[in-house]
Amino acid sequence: MVVPSSRSPRRSRVALAALLLLQLHLVTLLAAPASVSAATSADPSASSSGTPPASGTPHPGPEVSVARDVPYGSATDVELVLDVFTARDAVAAPVVMLIHGGGWTVGDKEMFEPESRALARAGFVVFDINYTLDPAGGPAYPRQVNDVHTALAWVQEHAAEYGGDSTRIGVLGGSAGGYLAAMLGTQANTASASPVSAVASLSGPMDITALVAGLRTATVNPDGTCAPVSCDVLANGRARLETLLGCDPLECPPELLAEASPTTYVSEYSPPFFLANSTEENVPTEQATAMADLLRAMGVPTQLELVAGDRHSVAYLPRVLLPLRNFLETHVTVQRSPTPTTSATSTEEPTVREPARAPKFPLRAFLFAAVVLALLGALFMILRGRRTTSRD
């Protein structure tokens, strides 16, 4: 007969509680994904496209203040405004200008608000801008390009009022905003001035001449289908380009197509570029790859990220968030040298981001199962001890 100690039930309860706490702690550690970006970790909603943010354990981070609808200029009868996002302790912090997309016809700065907050918590002062969209005001080009130049001049003059450093300005845009960011960076930086430290473009059209050439070679099959893309995509692309140019792109003068293309303004003084594009989206991959080739030929540090699939612009942002953040830290947070240099990435092949896949041997699942089995074993021993006690 086993005579249990009078303290056995209490010890059993203590052991059970300790095991439960251990299990809870391990499950929490196993369930939490590794942090990949302070910007994403600072804001759990760091995506304006409806896609989930990149992995990271959310934490409050520094408090962000927002100044909304600050006027930065005017175009005809339209007041141009921007929002400013800044951490309250920002002093001489690097600056990022954000330019939303929308096919040159729609959109609003609010589309980039989650990214604005995340970047502010990561240490940047963010100027999230609007630009004129009313088609009645004339074609988007050069009107919208003039707007972003006006915004840049205003940011240079007023960045210090919000804790920003006017000598460290990055520009980030998606889709039509990526086009405008590229136009701004290549036009603003010259032999005598380098106001833009870096440009990041997500799915931004870079060569309007090449896009129109693609429209010319597209065909309509006898069965009513189109090639190389669907008829809807071709019609939409033609309509968007007409909004940009103010004429049917197939009839616009070649000089206008070249004048409205960022590729035309690439030079050795262009700022470092981050270019991203999906492999099967509505903006041809060649737009990004050709731009990267031109920049690299001029010795401009260039990073090219190709994302597998058909997502467009900010829709794939979580997949490129870490390299994008590293790019901004390298070329905006750290002051750029005024002399053009070739970075290690300027001659590399583009990185193709595949969808995340589960590992073959899920270590976290194995450890979780081990903890559960240990807990079940402990419960079995406790219940066995109680049965022995009751028999006695």
Candidate from 91-95, 204-208, 278-282, 344-348 with smallest mean pLDDT: 344-348
Q: Are residues 43 and 107 in the same domain?
A: yes
pLDDT at res. 348: 53
Kindly provide the b/e burial profile for residues 65-95, where b requires at least 16 CB atoms within 10 angstroms of the residue's own CB: eeeeeeebbebeebebbbbbbbbeebeebbb
pLDDT at residue 389 tops 90: no
pLDDT at residue 381 tops 90: no
Q: Are residues 337 and 370 in the same domain?
A: no
- 233 lies in a domain? no
Q: Which residue has the tokens 């309860």?
A: 13
- 14 lies in a domain? yes
Q: Are residues 54 and 178 in the same domain?
A: yes
**CB 341, CB 301: distance < 8 Å:** yes
**CB 253, CB 303: distance < 8 Å:** no
pLDDT at res. 77: 75
d(CA 182, CA 287): 12
Confidence at 345, pLDDT banded by 50, 70, 90: very low
Q: Are residues 76 and 109 in the same domain?
A: yes
Question: What are the residue ranges of helices labelled H in 104-207?
Answer: 113-121, 140-158, 176-188
Candidate from 23-37, 209-223, 262-276 with smallest mean pLDDT: 23-37
pLDDT over 70 percentage in the chain: 70
pLDDT at res. 129: 98
Candidate from 35-39, 196-200, 380-384 with smallest mean pLDDT: 35-39
pLDDT at res. 362: 52
Q: Are residues 45 and 154 in the same domain?
A: yes
Which has more confidence, 230 or 154?
154
**CB 88, CB 61: distance < 8 Å:** no
d(CA 117, CA 47): 10
- 141 lies in a domain? yes
- 238 lies in a domain? no
Q: And the tokens for 235?
A: 């019609």
Q: Are residues 53 and 198 in the same domain?
A: yes
Of 332, 324, 339, 329, which is closest to residue 165 (Cα–Cα)?
332
pLDDT tens digit sequence for 321-343: 999 999 999 999 986 554 444 33
How confident is the model over 69-94, as a mean pLDDT?
91
pLDDT at residue 43 tops 70: no
How confident is the model over 195-219, as a mean pLDDT?
97
Count of CB atoms situated within 10 Å of the CB of 192: 6
pLDDT at res. 70: 98
* pTM of the predicted protein model: 0.75
pLDDT at res. 89: 83
Candidate from 108-117, 180-189, 375-384 with smallest mean pLDDT: 375-384
- For residue 198, the domain's CATH number is 3.40.50.1820
pLDDT at res. 322: 96
At what angle are helices 176-188 and 140-158 packed, to 10 degrees?
60
- 132 lies in a domain? yes
**CB 125, CB 162: distance < 8 Å:** yes
Per the structure, the count of domains in the chain is 2
Dihedral sign from CA coordinates of 183, 184, 185, 188: positive
Q: Are residues 98 and 149 in the same domain?
A: yes
pLDDT at residue 36 tops 80: no
Of 201, 187, 212, 179, which is closest to residue 103 (Cα–Cα)?
179
d(CA 215, CA 367): 56
Q: And the tokens for 169?
A: 């300005």
Q: Are residues 125 and 267 in the same domain?
A: yes
pLDDT tens digit sequence for 123-176: 999 999 999 997 677 899 999 999 999 999 999 999 999 999 999 999 999 999
Confidence at 59, pLDDT banded by 50, 70, 90: very low
Q: Are residues 24 and 162 in the same domain?
A: no
d(CA 126, CA 100): 13
Q: Are residues 203 and 122 in the same domain?
A: yes
Average pLDDT score over the chain: 81
pLDDT at residue 1 tops 70: no
Q: Are residues 89 and 138 in the same domain?
A: yes
Which has more confidence, 378 or 171?
171
Q: Are residues 26 and 53 in the same domain?
A: no
- CA distances (Å), origin 314, targets 176, 206, 225, 231, 342: 12, 17, 29, 24, 28
Domain of 101 in residue numbering reads as 38-207+261-353
Angle at 99 between CA 96 and CA 103, to 5 degrees: 160
pLDDT at res. 236: 93
Which has more confidence, 1 or 305?
305
- 56 lies in a domain? yes
Q: Which residue has the tokens 């870096």?
A: 198
How confident is the model over 273-277, as a mean pLDDT?
98
